[in-house]
């Protein structure tokens, strides 16, 4: 019941007009106390709600909510037909699609949400997910040749996101292996690819993207690394519905390219955006630390590190500039 009340409150407050607490309580069949608790929950989710005696509740600014029909219209105009689900409140878009495997998803099916209560980054890290401020998107992609075919998927999606941000907003995007996007040296997006299946049998992947659009100040303080958002780097209004459609279309294109040709044709695209290329770096994998010079990636999506004059591939770990963790 609480989730239903919160979602209805969001719909009614989105336009930025005052809404009476008593009217809300009567129309939803709940107490004024329940309304007050739900308003507090919305505040904790990142919405700026204030109250004026005699008028009721109002958002400090109207918000543009995601609309499935608008996303589908944009997709159709671009020649794509991916099914898209829009959720107001969800635990995690990746988790939602993973729960639907294997028979309740189709190739390219996409889930987007206004808010994630349990958004995840790599290695189980929390992904800060304030309401209607960013973009939280997950797509299902089948692996007909087994999960080994997923090698390099985070590279493919990183390039797809960079394509869209550069074309739509004229932003210079930097890529950090294996799954982060930066602008001016600050993180703007992260990718999480999760797999299910066996190396040599058909399997499944869920590709998740978290992209900062307009970070609320309070939520930004909870992030323990330099970050930025899209609104800081473009002077135009950001239509999240259109942006989602553009991202889905570019995901489709880059994934089709990867399926047909592999990563080789994309290596030059990666190298020109590689934030650590030819710099001294450290790779942390469990208790092991590898230090060397970053030499880009190979056709399998592995990081290439030069150590004592020899270049070797690294397939997993946390990458940072030497001396910076």
| 122 is an active site residue | yes
Q: Is 92 one of the annotated binding-site residues?
A: yes
Question: Whose structure tokens read 């407050």?
Answer: 13
3 state DSSP class of 230: helix
Q: Is 93 one of the annotated binding-site residues?
A: yes
Q: Exposed (0-12), middle (13-18) or buried (19+): which is 255, by Cβ within 10 Å?
A: buried
Question: Whose structure tokens read 């692996």?
Answer: 143
Measured CA to CA, the distance from residue 162 to residue 11 in angstroms comes to 32
Supply 83's token pair: 């099914």
Q: Is 122 one of the annotated binding-site residues?
A: yes
Residue of 12, 37, 122, 186 marked catalytic: 122
> Are the C-beta atoms of residues 163 and 140 closer than 8 Å to each other?
no
DSSP alpha helix (H) spans, the chain: 2-13, 21-28, 32-44, 68-77, 93-99, 153-169, 217-220, 240-261, 267-271
Residue of 3, 11, 32, 322 marked catalytic: 322
Q: Is 116 one of the annotated binding-site residues?
A: yes
Terminal C-alpha separation, the chain? 43
Q: Which residues contact 37 (CB under 8 A, 6 or more apart)?
A: 2
> Are the C-beta atoms of residues 134 and 211 closer than 8 Å to each other?
yes
Q: Is 20 one of the annotated binding-site residues?
A: no
Residue of 187, 240, 273, 295 marked catalytic: 187
Query: How many whole angstroms from its chain centre is CA 319?
Result: 20
| 123 is an active site residue | no
Q: Is 94 one of the annotated binding-site residues?
A: yes
Q: What's the CA dihedral at 123, 125, 128, 134 to 10 degrees?
A: 0
> Are the C-beta atoms of residues 319 and 303 closer than 8 Å to each other?
yes
Q: Is 12 one of the annotated binding-site residues?
A: no
Regarding beta strands 303-307 and 288-297, do their DSSP bridges make them parallel or antiparallel, or are they unpaired? antiparallel
User: Cα–Cα distances in Å, from 242 out to 64, 73, 77, 102, 161?
Assistant: 12, 9, 11, 29, 14
Which residues belong to the annotated binding site for biotin? 92-94, 116, 120-122, 187
Which residues belong to the annotated binding site? 92-94, 116, 120-122, 187
- Catalytically annotated residues: 122, 187, 322
């Amino acid at each position: 019941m609480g989730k239903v009340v919160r979602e209805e409150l969001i719909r009614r407050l989105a336009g930025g007009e005052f809404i009476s607490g008593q009217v809300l309580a009567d129309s939803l069949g709940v107490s004024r106390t329940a309304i007050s608790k739900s308003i507090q929950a919305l505040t904790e989710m990142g919405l700026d709600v204030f109250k004026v005696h005699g008028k009721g509740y109002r958002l400090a600014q109207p918000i543009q909510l995601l609309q499935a029909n608008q996303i589908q219209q944009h997709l159709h105009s671009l020649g794509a037909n991916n099914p898209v689900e829009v959720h107001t409140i969800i635990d995690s878009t990746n988790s939602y699609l993973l729960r639907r495997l294997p028979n309740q998803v189709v190739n390219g099916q996409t889930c987007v949400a206004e808010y994630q209560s349990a958004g995840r980054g790599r290695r189980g890290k929390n992904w800060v997910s304030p309401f209607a401020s960013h973009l939280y998107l997950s797509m299902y992609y089948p692996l007909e040749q087994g999960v080994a075919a997923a090698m390099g998927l985070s590279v493919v999606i990183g390039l797809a996101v960079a394509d869209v941000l550069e074309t739509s907003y004229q932003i210079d995007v930097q890529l950090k292996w294996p799954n982060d996007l930066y602008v001016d040296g600050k993180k703007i997006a992260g990718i999480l690819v999760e797999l299910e299946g066996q190396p040599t049998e058909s399997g499944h992947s869920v590709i998740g993207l978290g992209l900062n659009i307009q970070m609320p100040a309070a939520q930004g303080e909870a992030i323990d690394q330099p970050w930025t958002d899209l609104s800081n780097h473009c002077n135009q209004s950001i239509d999240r519905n259109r942006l989602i459609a553009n991202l889905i279309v570019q995901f489709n294109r880059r994934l089709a390219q990867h399926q047909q040709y592999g990563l080789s044709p994309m290596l030059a695209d990666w190298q020109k955006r590689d934030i650590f290329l030819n710099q001294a770096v450290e790779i942390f994998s469990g208790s092991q630390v590898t230090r060397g010079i970053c030499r880009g990636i190979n056709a399998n999506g592995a990081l290439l590190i030069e150590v004592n004059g020899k270049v070797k591939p690294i397939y997993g770990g946390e990458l940072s500039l030497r001396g910076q963790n």
